[in-house]
Amino acid sequence: MKDFELGAIQERFADIVWEHEPIASGELAKICEKELNWKRPTTYTVLRKLCEKGLLRNRDGIVVSLVPREEFYSAKSEQIIEDSYRGSLPAFVAAFISRKKISAKEAEEIRQMIDAFKEEG
């Protein structure tokens, strides 16, 4: 997947598209006016930039994502672990649970995920 560097506002805009897609660009502008207090030109400028980055597509006034939300956030999580923890998932988990305790149920869910995705041999 491409490396999508998005600012907080661009990410919020992408979330709006993911929540409503496919969506007419005019309707998107109305939602952004209500939720982000943007004027129509601001919406179209941000839309154009995210289309240029390859995250969204605006064809015939209909906006859709080219990258699913889950794929985007998964790649973002991987990049955070790479940048902040030298790619070490155990170091990330240790840092996370040292500040926020997890319940027994959460621990079991994590164990099940690890077992399901564990590399063989």
CATH assignment of 8-69, given 3.40.50.150, 1.10.10.10, 3.40.390.30, 3.30.930.10? 1.10.10.10
The token duo for 75 is: 């790649």
Q: Which tens digits make up the pLDDT trace of 17-58?
A: 999 999 999 999 999 999 999 999 999 999 999 999 999 999
Q: Where along the chain do the CATH 1.10.10.10 domains lie?
A: 8-69
pTM: 0.77
Which contacts (CB < 8 Å, 24+ apart) does range 53-58 have?
53/2, 53/4, 53/6, 54/2, 54/4, 55/4, 55/6, 55/14, 56/14, 56/17, 58/25
Beta sheet of 62-65, edge-to-edge order = 23-24, 62-65, 56-59
**What does the pLDDT average to over 75-79?**
90
Q: How sure is the predictor about 2, in pLDDT bands with cuts at 50, 70 and 90?
A: low
pLDDT of residue 5: 82
Residue 117 has pLDDT above 90, yes or no: no
The token duo for 99 is: 């500040």
